[in-house]
Chain A
Amino acid sequence: MKNEMNELCSVEGAEYFEVEDRAPLAEVKLFARDVGVKYGENEALKNVSIDFMEHQVISLIGPSGCGKSTFLRCLNRMNDTIEGCRVTGEIRLDGKDIYSKATDPVEIRARIGMVFQKPNPFPKSIYENICYGPRIHGMANSKADYDDIVEWSLTSAGLWDEVKDRLNEPGTGLSGGQQQRLCIARAIAVHPEVILMDEPCSALDPIATAKIEELIDELRERFTITIVTHSMQQAARISQSTAFFHLGELVEEGKTDDIFTKPGDERTEAYITGRIG
């Protein structure tokens, strides 16, 4: 099964590369081949190959401990910070190998932003939260530049109207949903190409969740988005592609429409219909 999947994926990938003048949707932004992760002796992930299409939302679903978050963290080298974590295989961003020695992880993380499960604004003002990325990457020269960045980012994250009068108040004083949108605004302030989201709504109420989902759908026009979620309904609502992970393997990846109506693999079927957890 695993080999079949790999073959399938590589065949599809080859196609996307050969056929240049397809619909713009078919551009591969991020490309993972045979990615494996080991924590010491413990193999957390093996042989994962996925193509991430530009301007698409791809959901990674699967039971806890299936390796989906681990895989997500491979994509912007967040796993570098974990002791004893070894990544094998190949991940390319616009064709550039992000794990090669010549690649600076800081550059990768600037190009591939991340939003975490728990909203984690810095314990600074809303304004400073947004400015932090542009500041460390030397993106602005004047106060006016920063003002523009803050306004644009907060507007894009749908938060501007709610916070424009209290930009100097602490970001941690916002509600959970607002904090998460602040984190998204902070991530897009450095104009990344890909945004990774690790269960961004798991701590939020349904209304806040709906706002984030709507936001993700809007952001798709500018960014390529990958989201790990435990809610299958959420994956179904917001993503164009869905990948199902189980026990450290990529079981199946395909169009969201297909995965949720007629999945190709029994394990996917069992998971999304609530038969295994």
Chain B
Amino acid sequence: MDKDHIVKSYDEDLRRLENMIAEMGGLAEVQLAEAIEALVRFDTDAAKEIVKKDKKIDALEMEIDDFIVKLIALRQPLAEDLRSVITGLKISSNLERIGDYSKNIAKRTTTLSQSSMMPTLVKGPIGTISRMARIVQEMINNVLDAYIARDADKADDVRAKDEEVDQLHSSLFRELLTYMMEEPRNITPCTHLLFVAKNVERMGDHVTGIAEQVHFMVHGQLPDEERIKGDSTSTMMVEPPELPIGDASE
């Protein structure tokens, strides 16, 4: 809907909501990028900084919630406006969760940097994690663009992209299990890395949620087709090689 409302201040309110969401999305994206950067470099100072900065995202979410409640009470939005406002509410809570995951990664970075095994892990699993994070970053970026542009197709593309993240997560899961089986000292860092990877994967899921909301905002209903899921970790079994081969399924 490119036409303006008859009441101009209503348009201004809706634009302000968009701007706040975009700002929050930008913050979440930067948080994720910096968290992964800190992880790769074992930069504990940067990690602490990230934990602090998460408060800003939380505050922004509160602000958006208040703003939307007022908007609904005063403007009584209908149809597309209503959907866009409700979508804004949901996007902000998803972005807040994404921010939380970044914070969690930053916290684990501090723990991981104390582990002596870390350098060996940098190349393999951490590299995969940062690849995953780059995809998720791009997804966040695209889904926000789709939200601003009211572009459901772009949102659907973002949604499809999550499959890649899931697949990377599955293979990383297997890899980390293997590392742990090889060397018991790896267990602590690898477990933390498992959580980091899981966090990134969850971020992808939240972005997918946002993409679905954008689709709803544009079309008035959620996407019909079931999303192709690349994440098989919940059914994955990796057995130590000494033991007899069980009926481990893929």
Contact = CB atoms under 8 A, between A and B. Distances in A.
Interface in B197-231: 219-221
B245 interface: no
Given A269-B1, A275-B1, A261 B79 contact: yes
A266 B79 CA distance: 11
B80 to A, nearest CB: 6
Considering residues A236, A261, A270, A274, which has the most beta carbons from chain B within 10 angstroms of its beta carbon?
Answer: A274
A273 interface: yes
B123 interface: no
Nearest to B3: A275
Contacts of A276: 3, 6
Considering residues B5, B78, B219, which has the most beta carbons from chain A within 10 angstroms of its beta carbon?
Answer: B78
Contact of A262 (B7, B10, B220): B220
B81 A273 contact: yes
A277 B6 contact: yes
Contacts of B1: 266, 269-270, 273, 275
Contacts of B220: 261-262
A273 B80 contact: yes
A257 B79 CA distance: 10
Considering residues B4, B80, B83, B221, which has the most beta carbons from chain A within 10 angstroms of its beta carbon?
Answer: B80
Considering residues A260, A262, A268, A270, which has the most beta carbons from chain B within 10 angstroms of its beta carbon?
Answer: A262
A260 B79 contact: yes
Contacts of B81: 273
A79 B219 CA distance: 40
B129 to A, nearest CB: 40
Contact of A260 (B4, B5, B78): B78
Q: How large is the interface on A (under 10, 10 to 19, 20 to 34, 35 or more residues)?
A: 10 to 19
Given A261-B220, A262-B221, A273 B78 contact: yes
Nearest to B75: A274
A269 B5 contact: no
B6 A269 contact: no
B116 interface: no
B82 interface: yes
B10 to A, nearest CB: 7
Contacts of B80: 269, 273
A44 to B, nearest CB: 25
A44 B166 CA distance: 59
Interface string A245-277: 000000000000000111100101110111111
B120 interface: no
Interface string A56-95: 0000000000000000000000000000000000000000
Given A232-B78, A261-B82, A270 B3 contact: yes
B77 interface: yes
B3 A263 contact: no
B235 interface: no
Contact of B77 (A262, A273, A277): A273
Contact of B5 (A232, A236, A262, A275): A275
B82 A275 contact: no
A269 B76 contact: no
Nearest to A260: B78
A270 B221 CA distance: 18
Contacts of A3: none
A233 interface: yes
Considering residues A232, A269, A275, which has the most beta carbons from chain B within 10 angstroms of its beta carbon?
Answer: A275
Contact of A274 (B10, B219, B221): B10
Contacts of B78: 232, 236, 260-261, 272-273
Nearest to A272: B78
Contacts of A233: 76
Interface in B76-115: 76-83
B6 A262 contact: no
A272 B79 contact: yes
B4 A275 contact: yes
A276 B7 CA distance: 10
B6 A263 contact: no
B201 to A, nearest CB: 32
Nearest to B4: A275
A232 B79 CA distance: 11
Contacts of B77: 273
29 contacts: A236-B78, A261-B78, A261-B79, A261-B82, A261-B83, A261-B220, A262-B219, A262-B220, A262-B221, A268-B79, A269-B1, A269-B79, A269-B80, A270-B3, A273-B1, A273-B5, A273-B77, A273-B78, A273-B79, A273-B80, A274-B5, A274-B6, A274-B7, A274-B10, A275-B1, A275-B3, A275-B5, A275-B6, A276-B3
Q: Which 4 A-B pairs have the closest CB atoms?
A: A262-B220, A275-B3, A272-B78, A273-B81
